[in-house]
Amino acid sequence: MEVEAALCGVVGDPYRRLADIGVDGFVVEAAAAALETSEKGESTSRYLCNFMAALLLIKAYAPSTPLRWLNGVKDNLEQWSAMRHAPTVLESEIYSLANLFHSDAKGQLRRCASGVVVCLADGLAAHEWRWLNDKWRLASSTEPRRILGATLIWSDEALSNEIDDFITNRRWTTHRLLHHLLACGAAIASVARIDDLPAVRGPIVVIHPNLFPRQQQEQIAGYEFGSVLTIGGAGATFPIPCDSPPVSSATEDEEPFSWVNELPFQHVPLDFIQHCADKINVASHNLRVLTHADSIHLMVMQTSPRKVRLLIRNDDAIYLSTEIDAGQNIKCVTVLSGFITSSIEPSGSRFRVKVPLRGMAIVDVTFEAEVMCPSQMN
């Protein structure tokens, strides 16, 4: 479902044009919990990951314009309530979308979203507002020193070239590749414009580098502050395997019936996406999910010299007890999300945590020494 790609990943111009004429901000369609409880969607991704990708890309394309994401809580007329019928899915939406960042020209991290718009707010009881407020506060309760993940590099010129490429070949767009990478657990929680690359630190991800202008390709090739992982067309570190013929045109039957249906694309093997996600994670941090790694995924933020905040996402529809190896000795683990009622006792570099179905656990991990990244371990 290329929801925001219809405006950002494929057409693009509406956001920039609206930003240029001075709109006060955008409300970004991001009601992931509502859709995940109403529509089956793709088996290879989640609506949540789709909206995470959209929020990152829209911020990159219109960095000066405030974004507020649509927090889909309930709709009495449509007869659904994520808060009452799928609260863990709603929590995961809140925690995930609130912790996506834009890296500016000075290398400062700023949240992609300036706030939320509740959909729909009528008839919410006082205790429901308190519940929501608790989740919002926890979601934005820290300002990370750095993201232990790769920064996606954005180019307006590459987007323009990508439009023509998609129309001609139906190749996967940046948006589609990104949300499938996120669904496979890729540690990508920040985005930077190509002009701001000199201020970026840590590994970077570039999608379809062949669509970037030559000068920008040279700038990427000269990046010296972390691993450079390129995915997509000719010359990429990870070229997309062509195991299906190009789609020269789509019939009317292939075109999506509504905005919740997928646009027609070439086929890309899921194991290729998983391979790319694994390589991104190895370059980003030393944490490893030892059990249920196909369903448990991490967002990692360093908050102090010896502490990281972990957002531990469960994509399965059952409770999962997972073991995580943090890569260095742990002093203590502090539970922040309300579901976990017992303390977590680490053993060396490992600890176990139970994560609710389609939900998220949040913990702070304090180490005995300063946080180390893969580049420091070599």
CA distance 61 to 192: 10
- Whether the predicted pLDDT of 6 surpasses 80: no
- Mean pLDDT lowest among 91-105, 241-255, 278-292, 318-332: 241-255
| pLDDT band (50, 70, 90) for residue 90 | very high
Global pTM reads 0.93
CA distance 191 to 210: 19
How wide is the angle at C-alpha 130 spanned by C-alphas 126 and 136, nearest 5°?
Answer: 140
- DSSP code string of 16-40: HHHHHTT-S-EEEP--HHHHHTT--
CATH 2.60.40.1180 residue ranges of the chain are 286-377
- Mean pLDDT lowest among 9-18, 122-131, 186-195, 201-210: 9-18
CA distance 202 to 209: 18
199: helix, strand or coil: helix
- Whether the predicted pLDDT of 376 surpasses 80: no
For the chain, what percent of residues have pLDDT higher than 70? Answer: 92
> For 129-138, how does the pLDDT look when each residue is reduced to its tens digit (9 = 90+)?
999 999 999 9
CB atoms within 10 A of CB 366: 16
> For 107-131, how does the pLDDT look when each residue is reduced to its tens digit (9 = 90+)?
999 999 999 999 999 999 999 999 9
**What is 286-377's CATH number, 2.60.40.10, 2.60.120.10, 3.40.50.620, 2.60.40.1180?**
2.60.40.1180
Question: Across-strand partners of 370?
Answer: none
The predicted model gives 254-262 an average pLDDT of 73
- Whether the predicted pLDDT of 252 surpasses 60: no
Question: What is the residue-averaged pLDDT of the chain?
Answer: 91
Using CA atoms in the order 184, 94, 208, 6, what is the torsion angle rounded to 10 degrees?
Answer: 120
CA distance 102 to 189: 9
> Which tokens hold the place of 223?
């990046």
> Which tokens hold the place of 119?
């959909």
Per the CB < 8 A criterion, the answer to whether 285 and 149 are in contact is: yes
φ/ψ of 302, rounded to 5, equals: -85, 125
> For 154-173, how does the pLDDT look when each residue is reduced to its tens digit (9 = 90+)?
999 999 999 999 888 889 99
What is the pLDDT at residue 12?
52
